Amino acid sequence: MDINRDEIRKTAEQIRKDCICMSTRANFGHLAPALSSADIIATLYKGIMNYRPDNPQWPDRDSFILSKGHGCLALYSILSQVGYYKRDLLRDFASKCDTMLPGHPEIKLPGVEANTGSLGHGIPLAIGMALAAKMDDRKCRVFVLTGDGELEEGTNWEAAMIAAKHKLDNLVVIVDRNSLQLGDFTENISQLEPLEDKWRAFGWSTKNVNGHNIEELLPSLNSAPYETGRPTAVIAHTIKGKGLEIAENKIEWHHKVLTREQYESLKDNLGLEALE
């Protein structure tokens, strides 16, 4: 794959614009959790993963599971940008009961690998996919993006032990380490640190990266697995609400969205499209 770093940055910027637009239009959504993951998701789809939008079930594809399903605004944007469906569909986010773009991703939408949003399920699902790929001798990888608050779910750590036992070096877990969750900073709720040491103790190869720096993300994700026979955990340090100054690192913005008035006041500065 030819990797254009400027294209990845532009893609991440468009993800953020789409997230702001979709959530404002719907007056609904988890905006800040989507904004923190934009650079990670753009890097995966524009610089790392092998996939075919014209054949979503291609057996040898790399798979991506958004375990933090509430951040689906970013996933919907990237899937439209790489051609899984027309971008006009983004207007339907949370617009009706049977929308293709609900508040958490569902497999009825092309490009979505798993229904997610009930936290703690993404890594266990990915283990089954990675193990199946190993058994079928398919040279593909499974990527999971999990929230750091989500790591308080015990199923993740049970899954981490299983992945190490089966030597799933085709599995890459990326932790969106923005240090915030629904009601407070993560360390005020349940102590995660030393997070890298915990992953390593469970038998994983680990690395810390700046989750907004493409120059760090690209080699860190592309070089996985770091060790043969070990799954990979990439702890990507991010800012919740990145790119929207009034939302950055603010607890209350976990599930807040812009009002139409705020959107209009920021539209020209952020290069946002007009809302009809």
* 217-267 pLDDT, tens digit each: 999 999 999 999 999 999 999 999 999 999 999 999 999 999 999 999 999
pLDDT of res. 3: 86
pLDDT of res. 204: 98
Sole residue written with tokens 């994983």: 204
pTM to 2 decimal places? 0.98
> Among 177, 146, 169, 186, which residue's Cα sits nearest to residue 65?
146
* 79-119 pLDDT, tens digit each: 999 999 999 999 999 999 999 999 999 999 999 999 999 99
The average confidence (pLDDT) of the chain is 97
Position 276 pLDDT exceeds 80: no
Phi, psi dihedrals of residue 206, rounded to the nearest 5°: -135, 160
Tell me the three state secondary structure of residue 227. coil
Position 2 pLDDT exceeds 90: no
Q: Which residues contact 174 (CB under 8 A, 6 or more apart)?
A: 40, 143, 144, 145, 146, 221, 233, 234, 236
pLDDT of res. 1: 60
Residue-range domains of the chain with CATH:
5-270 (3.40.50.970)
Q: Do the beta carbons of residue 98 and residue 92 sit within 8 Å? A: no
